[in-house]
Amino acid sequence: MNAVRRWVPCLGVVLLALLASTGVAQEAADDLRIGVAPFERVGASGVRVPDISSSLAQRLSTMGIERVVGPEKLGGQAVADPPAEDIVVRAKQAEVDLVVVGRTTRLGDSLSVDTQLRSAASGVAVGTPVVVEASGPRDLGRAIDELATLLL
């Protein structure tokens, strides 16, 4: 987790450089259009794993982003690593520049959320994966806020 925090400034610079190279306006987050795909959910049999992708989309929509398309509208299978072709098709239909894909893993009360930004133009990964952890249900809000901030 500390390694992720150390890479946050670098991730922001890399993301802006990649967005500039793909023709996406880099002036501000309000020019950005992001889709959030349904996240894969992993846990022991019978254990409830919360829908982090919908919560993340809702949080991103409060951060001044021009367009946020949630998992219900973006559609697709809930897998952590969908095919690039699927990302491109869904992103084009939703009119977004980037798509967040991910996996939520529950271990006891703790949750680990592993995410990756994918390019709408090619479907390939943009930047480095972002991982956040929540120690329990009461820590989930903080983890979603941290995830949204790290992704931007």
pLDDT, tens digit (0-9, with 9 covering 90-100), for 16-63: 444 444 444 334 466 889 999 999 999 998 899 999 999 999 999 999
pLDDT for residue 66 = 87
- Please give the structure tokens belonging to residue 73: 């509208």
Percentage of the residues of the chain whose pLDDT score is greater than 90:
68
pLDDT, tens digit (0-9, with 9 covering 90-100), for 103-129: 999 999 899 999 999 999 999 999 999
Cβ-contact 103, 94 below 8 angstroms: no
pLDDT of 132 > 70? The answer is: yes
Cβ-contact 32, 64 below 8 angstroms: no
Q: Positive or negative CA dihedral for 7, 78, 73, 21? A: positive
pLDDT for residue 87 = 96
pLDDT of 65 > 90? The answer is: no
Distances (CA, A) of 105 to 2, 33, 48, 93, 146: 19, 27, 10, 29, 17
